[in-house]
Structures are given as structure tokens and as C-alpha cells.
Amino acid sequence: MIPIRSHSWHYLLQHPLCGALLYFLLGLFWISSSDHLLDWLVSDRDALIKYQSYKGYFYVGLTAFFAWFLLRQKRSFVHSLNQSERAFADTFTHAAIGIAHVSLSGQFLRANKVLCQMLGYSEAELLLLNFQQLTYPGDLAMDVMELQRLQVGEINNYDIEKRYLCKDGRILWTRLSVALFTSPGQCYFISVIQDISEQKHTQQQLAQSELRFRTLLDNTPQIAVQGYYADGSTFYWNKASEQIYGYTKEEAIGKNLLELIIPSYMQEQVSQAMLHMADTGISVSSEELVLRRKDGSLVPVFSGHAVVKLPDTEAQIFCIDVDLTERKKQAAKLAFLSDFDAVTQLPNRQHFNQSISNAIEQAAQNKTLCALLLMDLDNFKDINDSFGHSAGDELLMQVSQRLQACCAPEHTLARLGGDEFGVLVQSVQSTNEVTALAELLMQQLQSPFLLANGSEIITALSVGISLYPDHASSAEDLIRAADVAMYKVKSEGRNHVAVYTDDLTAQARQRVLLETRLRSALKLDKLECYYQPQLDVLSGKIIGAEVLLRWHDAKYGFIAPSVFIPIAESCGLIHALGKWVLQRSCQQLRQWLDQGIPPFSLAVNVSAQQFNKDQLLDELKQVLAESAVPAELLELEVTESALMIDEAKVVATMHQIKAMGIRLAIDDFGTGYSSLSYLKRLPLDVLKIDRRFVEHIPQAIDDQQIASAIIALAHTMNFKVLAEGVETAEQLAFLREQGCNYYQGFYFSKPLPAQEFIALLLSQPN
């Protein structure tokens, strides 16, 4: 109670009216009481006057004391008030958060340094603004509504998150606390503003991270994720789970995982695992399982788990399943492909080789024979290149079906790769038995094959045969022997059968040796171009030359083109040889032209393999550009067989060559399969009559008729005609009589090296 009385007493003393009233009452009391007291105490008049003076002095002193006391109390109060005001000002100014006093209209009345720094304004600038101008438009309505509630007394204060527009254009996230201050003569809002931008940024990052995580889980097509509690009730089910297990998200969430996808025989074990993970927070080991779909079918999955266990919360278990269905299919497919061919479904080379080894082992035990047939489709590569790989695969399937129809159950038919097939006959009595089977297989391929694109394809087999133990004692040697026999068939024109002999091995070795030396000769520039003159029949003048490739080996001497060209074609070297001849002959012609030799044409042979390759056009452009030889001086000679693969492609390619200015000729005309309807579409310049139709003229009447017909046909189609192999004056006279334009042959000159040819050319009279 003492502090309360003391406080009341100090308040009364400090109040001006109370002080004046107290002073008035004290004065009245002193005047009225002091005079009576003196009259009672002092009777002497002089002493009374003296004491009257003392009374006045005492009153003055007493009132002075009261004045001092009151002024001292006032000074103490003012000092205390000033300290409170300074403390308040310091608190307002130096607070660690933004503080502002805002009028009821929204005008800033005061703002501390922190708020000014937060918003980027000086205090003077801020006092010219109102909070409505600085509030992010999307947050203004909420702020104004809370202010209105505060003004009408509905709430005492409010706390919201809002955004401010800073001076530099930034958007500042804050937590705003507002209270209304009311006193006599003034009323304003006290706003406390805390910067929560970092917190908001962190929240946004967490929200984005969670969104990315959920989006990733929801849209991962091959990984099914299910979230569930210890009792198995599900709370999460992503899209992959819908696809893999067949339950929609709505169907699955809230249901028990055991009943959804766990087969009955696994439910007890899985239930125990769930409880263990929930209790320990440790996931069970990942493993491969077979679970159940909605339709009752089973699906193989690789299943792993993750456990999220936080304090005071129920453990959450996530099951991550990877669908192994496709992987299982691929594994089965790979297992199949390890032993079987994907296109024909026949055993492959690996399976076939093992079957041969088993057959040899059994034949050795039983003292019997076993046989191997290796078969190669004739011209399959050209068919594949012309019609595409899908058509080639279709042809292989049809071929395999026909071959399979001829094989007995005890035979093993296999596709060994590309267009190569093999048949293993585990027990035979004689070579004739195997040869008869080979001929039967060849007959199966005589009728045309009809492809899905409407094309009719005719192909044939080249078959090589070897027998155990007559020709080899191991699977590897038996295959090699059959392969050597098959190559003999291919080198002799294809489409027949050959049985292995020891001589074939020597020939095969010689072929391998020649291939190696041919590659070396090309690399070391040991080949040479010869030139056989081509002459005008009427004038006898040289009008050009055919370029012929020659090879003189240091060890084996001169090797005929009829020997090394087939080797080059079989090993793929023909493309490099053909390009080399083009480059060398055009370089030589450029040298002759630079020496002032009158222009003449060079005819260069192009193989069927070269002509049906897409790079021929680019090679021609490159060679002409490098040599600067006029295109009209170059003539390409193409055999009829090169034109029979893909009619549309052949015609298009020849027109492109013709557009470059290069001349075109058909070599060995009459020995191929061209029809007149096909021939008339080709942009040819020259038909060359094969030497076989010339060598027996004039004795052979049929050769005369064929040569005459070719010449007449060519002239009718506006082609020039060149006869090859002219060796006698009688042959030349006949050709001149029939109107043949040009000829070449030993009658005038054999093929010559470059220097001898140019000397012969210059020796001709003008």
C-alpha cells in the first residue's frame, strides 16, 4: 500500500492546481493561527512586533522550502520523462526489425532505419508515401480488410504475411504485425515489419523440391512407387504403379497393399517385413519378386524399400518396384539369339558348329559318315542393296521355308549369317546321296519369290559339300572344306554343286595369297593402266581408247584380269580398284592434253558392284574436279548385268551421270538379259558388240545375223556401235558393210602401255 500512497502524494504535489490550493490553505492557516499564538505567548508590544517579523521570515522560509521541493520534484519528473522518451526513440530507431507509425489514412508518420533499408527509401521519401502505394497489389485487399476490422474494434491487432514493393523494383516478403494506438489528440497504427524473404525463398525451394520429387515419382514410367504404413494401408500410388499393377490411384489409396498386389503365399512374410521396417526404420534387402496385377496375372519386379521414420510420427514405408517384364523378354530373346537366327528362326552358326561337333563324335563312334552342305544365295547382296534390308530379310525367310521343306527331321538346317545357309546330314551312305539332296535344295529355289512390295525375285544356290571323315576330322576343318568347295562353284559361274577335293585347298590358298598381294600392289601403286585404241571404221583414225587394268607381280609375273578381277569382286576390293583406274586414267589424259595432244575419249570399265553403290557419283565428280578433264572425254562402260538389279535406280543413276556430261556405253551387249523396253529408257551413247559375236565372222552365219541385228537396233535407237575383238580384215570389212561405227581389237593393236599408245596415236597421218 505504501507505493500506492507515495505515488498519489507525488501526483498531487506535481499537479499545479493541487500545489496552488495547498499553498493557499497553508497561508490562511499560518496567518490565522500564528497571530493568535503570538498574542497568547507574547504580551510585550515591542516583543510582539519583533516576533511578528520573525513570523514573516519563517513563512517566507517555509514557502521557499515548499517552492524548492515542488521545483525539485518537477525537475525529477521531467528528467525521468526525457529518459523514457529517449529510450522509446532509441528503441524505435535502432530496433532490429522495421517499425512504422501509420496514420488512419495509410500515410507513413514515422519509420525507423531498418524499415527504410528494407524498402530502399530514405525516411524523408517514405514519409511522402502511404502503405497502399508500397503494398504488392495482390496483398492490398487482405491488408485493408484487417485494418478495417482493427479500426472498428473487432480485433485488437493482426498478423499477416504480405509483400512490399521496394524502390529498386524488388518484391519483399514480410511478416506484418499491426496494432492501433489511441490517446487524446492522436490515433495511429503501429506496424512491426519483419523481413522473411529468405524464409520464403527456402519455403519455395522446399515446395519446388517436393513438387519435382512428386512429379518425378508420378511420371517415372518404369518405376512403380507405393507408400504405405506398417499395417499395409496405402497413402501414395504413382502412375507407374497404375500401369504396372492395373489399379488406379483412387482404387489403391486407403486399401491394404497385401490385398492389392501381394500373392497369398507371400502375404504373411511381407506383413512381418512391414512391421520390422516400421519398428526399426531399416529397410529389407532389395530382391526380385513376382507380384500380382489387378487382373490376377503376375508381373516380375525388382523390389526395394525406403523407410521414413520421424520422431512422434508413424513410420512411412515406400516400396520401389522396377518392372522386369521387358528385361525378362529381352533375356529370353538373347538366350534364343545365342543359338538361333532372329530373321529365319533357324539355328545360327554357334549352334550349327556345336551340332557338327556332336555329329562327328557320334559318327566316329558308329563308324559312319556325316556330311555338311554350305549354301550361298547368288546375287543376294545386289538384291539387298536394291530393294532394302527388309525385302532381303523377307527373301531369306521364304528361302529358309523352302529349304526346310526338303530337309528330313534328322537334318539340321541353319542360317550361318548374311545369305549363307548350312545343312548337316548326320548319317549318309555315299557322296551321291548328299549330292542328290543338294540338287533337290537347288530345285526348290528355281521358281520366283514374290515379295510384299510386288517384286518377283529369282535367286539360286551355290553349294559346297564336305564329308567326315573323308575330307576332315574336325568341325572347323569340315566347314573350311565345304566353304572351299562352295567358292569353287561361285568362281565357275554359280548355281551348281561342288564336292571338296584336296586340289581345292591349294586353289583357296592361292586365292588368299593373290588377294593379299593384290591389296599390297594397290597400296604400293604396282598396278598399271593399258590403253587399247578405238578406231573409226570408215576413216581408220583413232578416236579414243579403252582403259584396261594390268598387274605384273614381282613373284608370279603377269596375272590376267580374269584371275584377279573376280578375287577383287569377292573380297570387296573392286571399289578401290575402280576408283584407282578412274583417277589414274584421267590424270594421264590431263597430262596428254597439257602436252598438246589432240583431245580423244577414254572408256573406263565400271563393275556392277561399283555402279550400284551410291558413292559412284561423288567419285566421278571428285575425279573430274581433280584432273580438270572435260566430262565429254570420259566414257563409262557398264555390263548388262550391272543394269539388272534395280531398274528405277539404274535409270536414275545413268541420267545423273549423263547430266554431268559423261558418255555411257553398254559393254558386251547381247550376252546379258536386257529387254528392249528396258533398253530404250537408258541414256546410252554406245553399244559394244561382244567379241563372241565377232570372232567367227564371216564364217558363222548366226554371228553375222546377231551382229547385223545389234547394229540395226542401235542405229534405230540413235546409239553408236563399237565392235570388240576385231582381228581380221574380213571382220572389219563386214562391220563396215553393216554400218558399224567403231571397232577395237588385235587387227589394229593390242592394249598398250601409256607411252606406246601415245606414240602410236602420234604416228597416225593427219
pLDDT tens-digit readout, 9-62: 555 555 666 666 766 777 777 666 766 666 666 666 666 666 667 767 777 777
Distances, alpha carbon 193 to alpha carbons 74, 183, 190, 363, 730, in Å: 38, 23, 10, 100, 120
pLDDT at 548: 94
SS3 182: strand
pLDDT at 507: 67
Is there a contact between 116 and 96 (Cβ–Cβ < 8 Å)?
no
Give the span between the Cα atoms of 733 and 540, in whole angstroms.
12
For residue 753, give the H/E element and its range: none
pLDDT at 485: 86
For residue range 716-765, what is the model confidence (pLDDT) as tens digits?
A: 888 999 999 999 999 999 999 999 999 999 999 999 999 999 999 998 88
pLDDT at 645: 57
Task: Enter the C-alpha cell of residue 289.
Answer: 519378386
Is there a contact between 744 and 724 (Cβ–Cβ < 8 Å)?
yes
Indicate the pTM of the whole model.
0.47
pLDDT at 3: 46
pLDDT at 676: 63
Q: How far from chain centre, in Å, is Cα 150?
A: 63
Is there a contact between 482 and 373 (Cβ–Cβ < 8 Å)?
yes
Give the span between the Cα atoms of 757 and 766, in whole angstroms.
17
Those residues of the chain that have pLDDT short of 70 are 1-20, 22-23, 30-32, 34-52, 55, 66, 70, 73-74, 76-91, 93-94, 207, 209-221, 385-386, 493, 504-508, 612, 641-647, 670-678, 766
pLDDT at 1: 36
Task: Enter the C-alpha cell of residue 373.
Answer: 552342305
